[in-house]
Each structure stands twice: as C-alpha cells, then as structure tokens.
Amino acid sequence: MGEMLARYFRGTLYYSPKEDIGVVIVRGRRPMWVFEVKVGEITRYEAVGAVKRMSTVAEKVGLVSLRERPGDYGDLSLGPKELLEIAGKVSRGESTQDNPPQ
C-alpha cells in the first residue's frame, strides 16, 4: 500500500519510527503526505485524532480504509474504490502530483 501511494504521489516511502504513523511519503527530505491506514472502518473519533496527530508530520494528511471510504476529515480520504483507481493508474505508469482521485 505504502509503495503504491509513494509511486502515485511521486515520492519515496519513508518508514517512520513512530508506531502510530502508517505511511509517510517524502520528496527529498521533506514529508509531503502522511496516511493513517486501517483494514477496517475509521470512525469519526479515530479520524479526527489521526488528523490532529499526523498534521505535525507532513504537509498533507490522508486516511485510508480497506473497508469503506472514510469521512472527509483530512486532505484526502481513500476507500477500496479509490485505491483500485490508484492501483490501475500506477500499473499504467501514471501518477499525480497534487490531483488525487476524489
């Protein structure tokens, strides 16, 4: 998941030493995106807490749920449909700089 998002956003996947940070995407040394990734749903309480916690790490904060698209609490919310769209674009060699699927 992290590698796919890093390729899509034209960055490098960075492994954060903080256990509560899912995916960090950097360009050079600059953190551009940070994502909270969950297999299940992300509740409103979890989303608000994650956005607050991660907003100090990178410029943009995203939420990813493999079950259903999370609410719009961060800069980007991705569910199964959006992840499938991104996977297709990455497999075709397409990427985006700042125009993710909505």
Query: What's the pTM value of the predicted model, to 2 decimals?
Result: 0.87
Strand partners, 77: 63
**What are the residue ranges spanned by the domains of the chain?**
2-88
pLDDT at 16: 72
Digit-by-digit pLDDT tens for the chain (102 residues) are 999 999 999 999 987 776 567 899 999 989 999 999 999 999 999 999 999 999 999 999 999 999 999 999 999 999 999 999 999 999 988 876 545 555
pLDDT at 98: 47
CATH, domain range 2-88: 3.40.1350
Residue 93, sorted as left (phi over 0), alpha (psi -120 to 50) or beta, turns out to be left
CB atoms within 10 A of CB 101: 14
d(CA 97, CA 67): 26
pLDDT at 100: 59
